[in-house]
Amino acid sequence: MPQFRLTQISDTHLARRLTKLTDNFHRVSEYIDATRPDLVINSGDLAFDAPTSPGDLEFAKSLHDGLPVTCRYLPGNHDIGDNPTQIGPVPPQQVSESDRQVYLSLFGDDRWRFDAAGWCFIGLNSLVMNSGLSSEAEQFEWLAAELAGAKGKPLALFLHKPLFLNAPDDPELEATSIRYVPQPARRRLIEMLRTADLRLVASGHVHQRRDFTFGRVRHIWAPSAGFIISDARQERIGIKEVGLMEYRFQPDSFEVRHVKAPGQVDVDLDELLARTPTD
């Protein structure tokens, strides 16, 4: 029976000046070298803060180029800026086409589709959603065509931000939070996905590991590969621990497990900020 082994890393937040995060990435790289999955996906925030420090994205690219297996990438808010929400302040670095173009020049497509082991895999740029950029409309048009071509196959969706906290109709404050795909783009995306045999939504962004099922869809929040965020800064929703996710896909089924690579350290964001006050 065909099998497809996929490793998801997320929120690596790489910057040359942040050596503890580089060390964690090296531990992840060594683990990937030892296990040799068929594919690695980084689901976003490759860089520590590319909109304000463009060199961070170039440094992240140089380290990912050293991974010994094929990789695919998705942008995070620290790579191309954040999407605006219906309620709340405008993000300090709002997503822009210029930052997106820099990302594309280094990492390639910010949306993709491929098939393996009887599954359809789709990756989306969640940061252009609700942005009004032309790339948002283009992505929705592209997705409609790809979903039409994926009929009859189970679908695994990868994106940086989780779709929602607990359910599509979360309270308004959660529905418009920068932590999740914001409304009204979320509503449109979920409606489009109703036509597909969606089985998995895999994301990152929150820096907490979480695994839950809504309906027949399993939602996996990958932890950060780089650092954790203290309870004083962020409420606890899942498990705060660095690591990565491993998947094994077979026709019509999959398995997933959380792994902490040997030597990975739970670096705290407060410690990073204390040592790098200008970042």
User: Rg (Cα) of the chain, in Å, rounded?
Assistant: 17
The stretch 14-23 carries a mean pLDDT of 97
Nearest to 49 by CA among 80, 23, 19, 28: 80
Cα–Cα distance for residue pair 30/32, rounded to 1 Å: 5
State both tokens at 129: 């959603």
DSSP state string for the chain:
---EEEEEE----B-TT-HHHHHHHHHHHHHHHHH--SEEEE-S--BS-TTT-THHHHHHHHHHTT-SS-EEE---HHHH-BPP-SSSPPPSSB--HHHHHHHHHHH--SSEEEEETTEEEEE--TTSTTS--HHHHHHHHHHHHHHHHTTTSEEEEE-SS-S-SSSTT--HHHHT-TTSPPTTHHHHHHHHHTTSEEEEEEE-SSSSBEEEEETTEEEEEPPPSSEE--TTTS--SSB----EEEEEEETTEEEEEEE--TT---EEHHHHHHH-TT-
Nearest to 9 by CA among 124, 151, 106, 37: 37
Residue with tokens 């969606």: 198
Q: What is the reported pLDDT for 255? A: 97
Is the predicted pLDDT of residue 276 greater than 60, yes or no? no
> Which residues are CB-neighbours of 233 under 8 A, at least 6 positions away?
269, 270
State both tokens at 101: 């173009």
CATH of the domain at 118: 3.60.21.10
What is the share, in percent, of the chain residues with pLDDT greater than 90? 84
Q: What is the reported pLDDT for 35? A: 98
The stretch 26-46 carries a mean pLDDT of 98
The stretch 115-133 carries a mean pLDDT of 96
Question: Bridge partners of 220?
Answer: 202, 211
Give residue-wise pLDDT tens across range 133-165: 999 999 999 999 999 988 889 999 999 999 999
Q: What is the reported pLDDT for 175? A: 55
Cα–Cα distance for residue pair 139/142, rounded to 1 Å: 5
Mean pLDDT of the chain: 93
- Which domain range does residue 198 map to? 4-275
Q: What is the reported pLDDT for 172? A: 63
Cα–Cα distance for residue pair 81/72, rounded to 1 Å: 20
The stretch 15-25 carries a mean pLDDT of 97
Give residue-wise pLDDT tens across range 84-108: 887 777 788 999 999 999 999 999 9
Tell me if 80 sits within 8 A of 96, measured CB to CB.
yes
Give residue-wise pLDDT tens across range 200-247: 999 999 999 999 999 999 999 999 999 999 999 999 999 999 999 999
Q: How many domains does the chain have?
A: 1
Give residue-wise pLDDT tens across range 42-87: 999 999 999 999 899 999 999 999 999 999 999 999 999 999 887 7
Question: Bridge partners of 259?
Answer: 244
Q: What is the reported pLDDT for 278? A: 39
Q: What is the reported pLDDT for 265? A: 97
Give residue-wise pLDDT tens across range 249-272: 999 999 999 999 999 999 999 988
Q: How far apart are the first and last CA of the chain?
A: 49
Q: What is the reported pLDDT for 91? A: 83
